[in-house]
Structure 1
């Protein structure tokens, strides 16, 4: 099943932010003493806010902001980078953070200090900003205008007169706001003041209401007034509803809902009275007024969802919890909101306020969580792709457009029947808005020798490719091409395939001086169908085969490189030697510490394009380091691996070094692998999957150990997988190390492999095991199998040696018809031809020449 169009819509569809607040002025944007930046992820205040630094939402936000600012994720560094951007280009920061926002609906009465007016925000959105009027502030303003002379406010007659004036004045203000075309809705914060248990009808005794008014006036004498007495607060809400209901009776009047803060808030809130269930009677009393329950009503999402399900005048807003709670909580909240609520009754908002980053984080996290949840629902059969796309577009845009009578038109329409062309165009447009300095796009693919092939285009020409106004043909003989561009005898100059960009992989080039970006491609036939033999298509197809069996795959990679510097010998020839000598595994020697600036630059550069390393450290060989990448879906994880390798290479070049993936560039030191972690979920079929891997392992090494030099690294006693086909729990002397249920590390894998094909072969073997329900006859090995006796190996079911050369692996692949059928016979045939010729050429080379040749290319 292809989720590309669904993911593209969720990530790029314009949105209407139905509840937000004004941004700080540039002069106050970095006044953290008054406006702590930590407020972006916490409702805590004062001393309690200091604890936010140790929360999961802040750690996540720091990583995402570090990618935005292109700095490290240390919180102090994040703030420093933010300060620099604010001073340099505050408008540019805001524009980046509000990217994708079509319309803002602002509650612009949160404060009247230090913020820009609501109209000022128009410059950052597609459409004009609209107002949401806070009714308690109107009530306060009305009281203040009447009580300038409060010396006789205790006189009953004066108090009655002031009440009458207040009542009339407040209604006039509400009526005026209803008539104001800039106002599209109202908001009550009664949840903060006296709770959501609003009395739905008037008191029979007006004296009680007058007494409530008197208490409010009395408490405010000589200072600002605050409406926080229950009877008066309830009256303010009811009068607003009365006026909205009356206005709704006019056939031509636009709909103007009442928003109510529910659930999550600071310590002013009585959490019990923040439950929207208290509003049920009030909602029933005013069936012609639409109620918007703000902030997912967290932690009362299900109660709010019930109200939105059974009352046609209730919407549930999904804002504020993004980015205030953890990723898992956000996912749970979205799932709970979908329990019974029609997707036409769900609205999106950021609750963005003061800092533009509140908008950025909320929108990014919501889109990511929505993508995960919706893809899962489609995979489980709860949604079709088209239904999920309709629901996403409704929640992001159409529901708010309808609920607030905005009558907005999309600047670029992404219809329900979104096809690959329109989604790709939208994705490119979104990318270019965020990267306006990019002028060139590199379209690239990886051939069977693991050589990266690139075509470069000015952005205008690449846009034509995306719009399918032109195609990029590549000669079919590329599938039989070697590193020096020579073609195997079986190749021909006739025929071509076409490169089709996968915009989900579009990523700017960093680590070098270039205003360009890279995109990976699929190979297509003349008719536009997938071309047999395309490595990315093959991996995606095998992943889909497992998905059809109910198995999801996740992959993660380790990059091992050795940093080399060049020297010149007496004859003038260039030699490669380790960048440092005093070096060992996971140790920071004096030599190793000189590499720290380079390592940190690599980590920061990767973070700038959204690749956040899990760890990095020194490996065993001189100048050798390891960078551990985060996990992801199979194709996306390989894409990230290739991009990360390029960044490591580019940054090293800036320092005059060569970062090589050569499996054994230093004959007397440990080699470099490219270990992969593969997980299947659920792990129910892990034994059958592993049984398939064990059965087909000799054949799949043709892809994982792709050159003869690869086999120099795989020897007993050096934690490289040893020499027998077996597996072991946390055993690094087995080709497959089991880490946990359904998760393994592939040890016999290095940087010379085409990783799309290597992972496809591993998954294909596991797929055959599950499909055939194989029994796992190879037992858990806790030793180096090469050091066991034949009898001990036999007792563990270890009967097959690993191939000792690429020729032996290719022979095994030639006889493994089952694995060939899953990977693809055409691909295997062409791959085998290329690899046999490649092996012959390498064997003919002098060892030193071959070593240098490979270092310069890998």
Structure 2
């Protein structure tokens, strides 16, 4: 039995994840096909009755409030509004039940804080705060809190309830009602008695930290000054002489100092030193600041950020405005530091030149390590002048070539400059939007109009929710509650206007409330969901790394295409290995499919250096089919913490970086995972694996016979959330098959009488969120742009070499044969499935254009990272040299004598790779040399042992 799990299609190809389409069932003894529609993974909310008026949402489930609460909250609906709610019931359900990621918040304060509770309704203070109860946001918010607490809607009664229940109780109640799955908290708060970050983990499943760059700079100076002052005081104390040894000169000097103090005259030379107590220079400060910033992760790498911090934050708008000078001189910054050091402690930086200098250095670090930079914009602090807070002032930074790859998040909906923020997000790939703080500081109309303005031009994929909650847990609850309501209002109105379909609006809810933040901040969060299949229930926890986890699998895909892992006790993984990794003999990266020993010629030995397997925490996954276990993808690092030259993931990372640096282009890819189902059989005392059944191609009975396994595999994929690694999909499918006593094998051709199974990959090219593989009115070569044609031409010219990575086993070439839809000839075609390279025009794309291309000569024995790296490598060469494609092939290439045959076997591909120096240059000579040696060892072994290929059904 043959199945295909297609993770490409239009949307999955664009996003590289999130769709599973059970596309084809084929049987080893016959030809049958079954197609049915795409099923969204991890996207649509669970089906159920909409949450009605008078109900709170706790962990996504309705919880009925008291009668008093219902009476306080029950609005009056017109018939038109009721019809509207019925029409958009699924959209409302999605808005109300999605577990949100709060992408920008502040620390809570302890119960004994001097901050008045009324401060959660307004940013005012003093006499202005006394009038806050007369504002629309205050009146609405107070009623909402009273309904949650089941008390009278008065400030006195609410505060009385808070005191009686205690901080822990009310915080739990607010966070449960808010249904927050992850919390991103900055450290810029200066409020009285703020709680430590760890304290927040009692109320939210996952909590992450964002570091305020100005707060960090001030802390470094203040702490250093304080320690120096103590040193000086101690030294002065030891220098003091006994009273009886004083001279008359000493007594006279003290008498003069007393007179100066009494008359108000102070020696400024001594006064300044006592105030400053510091010998900072700009160089020494910069060194200390950068070192501290880089020290937050254990080893500051792009693979380990989730363990410590997930972003940086600037409050420049509060102090010096957003007119940041990216070319601020060192001389001006030094002068600014000198002026700041002349002020009293604790230091609070306000000098614009120093501010700009700190910001630019921090943004460079953020770019280097792929950290988003949050920037306060618009309203939010009485000290700032609004004219200095418009995000338009950031254009000088955005246009600077150093920052073309930065990620800047404009906070607070940029209010009242929401349209300006929307415009910037639409024209600058670096700009993202966060609409926190509008809740609950604005009226409903104010919040709604602000969000509408953000969505007027900004891509939905760039808009994120946050509560901007601070100090009091009620601010988190109110932010989440009204965000859900307003997002529903805005998106349903967009549906009415024809801007969105209902399904697109539901997708937008997931993006805004969850997915965009998960992607941007690289958070490892999987929201809780449960799917029942008959009597089996499969669930994934909303919180990874809990006490019930026993083992963690650290998984990698080696150069021979095999999945390998190291399993660690959870306490060891989370205590040590998560940050420091685990050791692996470097010889292991040269293992072949037939022997766990390095192939001759790889130059790898067991006496060689050790590599470290370090977890990429953004890929951490609770294993749905195995209780008490998690798995995580790993990167291979050297002992010094650098990426290993033998790491397949790093090879892909390197070539995509070159593509981005040189051409400002990124690649999106989607894989088709095809596999056969085999069952165990015994004949004459020997074990055999035979087709699961012998029904015909496209047989409905074939699906009936295996549907229970497919449903369970599908449920596990859903329970895993959005799968970001092709490896995980295969692991799930194989594991569910094993559970039912069968094998799911991704081997290209377990039966030579069948067509075989592949792992076709679809790729597109993107620049500034636009598909640049697709042609335009200015340039359209068979539906491709100039960039698209050159990239594909590079792949075409290097295809024989690429096969050494995408068809890496001698057995792979049993599949790549004429008239088998695998692409056996060197050619390309539009929608030609006999060509190895096929440009695609899926539904929704104009017929004169193509959106992506497919490589059909890619199978399940390949390492997906190395295969993609080889393809991108070839594409870069096409772009660099401006290569051109020959005319497309519209006929079966087997019938055209002019088409050259691709290598008939692995040896031909290996010889092509050995002679193709472009792969050595970009992917690394050590890696390519090792791969060539491994392929030659495979060729020699299977030539001597042709029957050994049947054992590979267990390895692939």
Deviation at 1:566, TM superposition (A): 0.6
* Aligned counterpart for 1:730 among listed residues 825, 831, 834: 831
Show CA shifts across 1:671-708 (max 9, x none): 10011111111224111111111111101100111111
* Aligned counterpart for 2:144 among listed residues 93, 102, 110: 110
CA distance in structure 1 between the aligned counterparts of 2:710 and 2:914, rounded to whole angstroms = 42
* Aligned counterpart for 1:780 among listed residues 880, 888, 891: 888
CA distance in structure 2 between the aligned counterparts of 1:58 and 1:325, rounded to whole angstroms = 20
Correspondence for 1:854: 952
Question: 1:480-629 counterparts in 2 under 5 A?
Answer: 480-483=590-593, 484-490=595-601, 491-495=604-608, 496-511=610-625, 513-548=626-661, 549-569=663-683, 571-584=684-697, 587-611=698-722
Show CA shifts across 1:561-602 (max 9, x none): 111111111x11111112122142xx3522322222221221
Equivalent position SS for 2:811: helix
Correspondence for 1:805: 905
Segments of 5+ residues of structure 1 without an aligned counterpart are 1-20, 69-93, 131-180, 183-279, 307-313, 339-346, 376-388, 390-429, 613-635, 794-799
CA distance in structure 2 between the aligned counterparts of 1:27 and 1:720, rounded to whole angstroms = 46
Correspondence for 2:438: 317
* Aligned counterpart for 1:352 among listed residues 480, 496, 500: 480
CA distance in structure 1 between the aligned counterparts of 2:454 and 2:646, rounded to whole angstroms = 38
Cα separation, partners in 2 of 1:299 and 1:568, compared to 1, 3 Å: farther
The answer to whether the 8 A contact 1:24-1:114 is kept is no
Correspondence for 1:250: none
Cα separation, partners in 2 of 1:589 and 1:364, compared to 1, 3 Å: closer
CA distance in structure 2 between the aligned counterparts of 1:434 and 1:357, rounded to whole angstroms = 32
* Aligned counterpart for 2:920 among listed residues 820, 845, 853: 820
Equivalent position SS for 1:109: helix
Equivalent position SS for 2:860: coil
Cα separation, partners in 2 of 1:372 and 1:531, compared to 1, 3 Å: closer
Correspondence for 1:749: 858
Show CA shifts across 1:187-223 (max 9, x none): xxxxxxxxxxxxxxxxxxxxxxxxxxxxxxxxxxxxx
CA distance in structure 2 between the aligned counterparts of 1:823 and 1:651, rounded to whole angstroms = 35
CA distance in structure 1 between the aligned counterparts of 2:804 and 2:107, rounded to whole angstroms = 51
Deviation at 1:608, TM superposition (A): 0.9
Correspondence for 2:754: 669
The answer to whether the 8 A contact 1:736-1:745 is kept is yes
* Aligned counterpart for 1:29 among listed residues 49, 62, 72: 62
Pair 1:465 & 2:563 matched: no
Deviation at 1:500, TM superposition (A): 1.5
* Aligned counterpart for 2:586 among listed residues 467, 473, 476: 476
The answer to whether the 8 A contact 2:674-2:759 is kept is yes
Cα separation, partners in 2 of 1:325 and 1:643, compared to 1, 3 Å: farther
Cα separation, partners in 2 of 1:766 and 1:25, compared to 1, 3 Å: closer
CA distance in structure 2 between the aligned counterparts of 1:696 and 1:678, rounded to whole angstroms = 16
Cα separation, partners in 2 of 1:806 and 1:28, compared to 1, 3 Å: closer
Deviation at 1:316, TM superposition (A): 5.8
Deviation at 1:535, TM superposition (A): 0.3
Deviation at 1:768, TM superposition (A): 0.8
Correspondence for 2:419: 302
Pair 1:655 & 2:740 matched: yes
Deviation at 1:611, TM superposition (A): 3.4
CA distance in structure 2 between the aligned counterparts of 1:767 and 1:662, rounded to whole angstroms = 30
Correspondence for 1:52: 88
The answer to whether the 8 A contact 1:564-1:579 is kept is yes
Cα separation, partners in 2 of 1:838 and 1:47, compared to 1, 3 Å: same
Calculate the TM-score normalised by the size of structure 2: 0.49
Correspondence for 1:378: none
* Aligned counterpart for 1:369 among listed residues 516, 529, 534: 516
Deviation at 1:850, TM superposition (A): 2.2
Correspondence for 1:272: none
Correspondence for 1:699: 801
Show CA shifts across 1:699-725 (max 9, x none): 11001111111111112222112x211
Deviation at 1:820, TM superposition (A): 2.2
* Aligned counterpart for 2:936 among listed residues 836, 839, 845: 836
Segments of 5+ residues of structure 2 without an aligned counterpart are 1-53, 110-119, 122-140, 152-157, 176-192, 195-378, 390-410, 424-434, 441-446, 466-474, 488-505, 524-540, 767-771, 774-784, 842-849
Calculate the TM-score normalised by the size of structure 1: 0.54
Correspondence for 1:247: none
Q: Which of 1 and 2 has higher RCO (CA within 8 Å, sep 6+)?
A: 2
Equivalent position SS for 1:110: helix
Correspondence for 1:277: none
CA distance in structure 2 between the aligned counterparts of 1:368 and 1:328, rounded to whole angstroms = 17
The answer to whether the 8 A contact 1:331-1:369 is kept is no
Correspondence for 1:310: none
The answer to whether the 8 A contact 2:588-2:597 is kept is no
Show CA shifts across 1:18-59 (max 9, x none): xxx993689992669x99xxx9xx99942211211465x867
Cα separation, partners in 2 of 1:303 and 1:100, compared to 1, 3 Å: closer
CA distance in structure 2 between the aligned counterparts of 1:334 and 1:348, rounded to whole angstroms = 23
Cα separation, partners in 2 of 1:372 and 1:653, compared to 1, 3 Å: closer
The answer to whether the 8 A contact 1:440-1:458 is kept is yes
CA distance in structure 1 between the aligned counterparts of 2:422 and 2:588, rounded to whole angstroms = 56
Deviation at 1:114, TM superposition (A): 7.6
The answer to whether the 8 A contact 1:23-1:355 is kept is no
Equivalent position SS for 2:664: coil
The answer to whether the 8 A contact 1:477-1:487 is kept is yes
Equivalent position SS for 1:574: strand
Equivalent position SS for 2:673: strand
CA distance in structure 2 between the aligned counterparts of 1:517 and 1:655, rounded to whole angstroms = 21
Count residues in correspondence. 539
The answer to whether the 8 A contact 2:551-2:567 is kept is yes
Show CA shifts across 1:437-484 (max 9, x none): 32321112222211222111122211243564x542211111222233
The answer to whether the 8 A contact 1:334-1:370 is kept is no
Cα separation, partners in 2 of 1:822 and 1:300, compared to 1, 3 Å: closer
CA distance in structure 2 between the aligned counterparts of 1:102 and 1:22, rounded to whole angstroms = 28
CA distance in structure 2 between the aligned counterparts of 1:24 and 1:727, rounded to whole angstroms = 54
Equivalent position SS for 2:879: helix
CA-based RMSD of the aligned residues comes to 5.1
Cα separation, partners in 2 of 1:58 and 1:856, compared to 1, 3 Å: same
Deviation at 1:365, TM superposition (A): 3.3
Question: 1:213-362 counterparts in 2 under 5 A?
Answer: 301-302=418-419, 317=438, 331-332=458-459, 351-353=479-481
Show CA shifts across 1:503-533 (max 9, x none): 111112222x331111111111121111112
CA distance in structure 1 between the aligned counterparts of 2:450 and 2:761, rounded to whole angstroms = 32
Question: 1:85-164 counterparts in 2 under 5 A?
Answer: 107-110=141-144, 119=162, 123=168
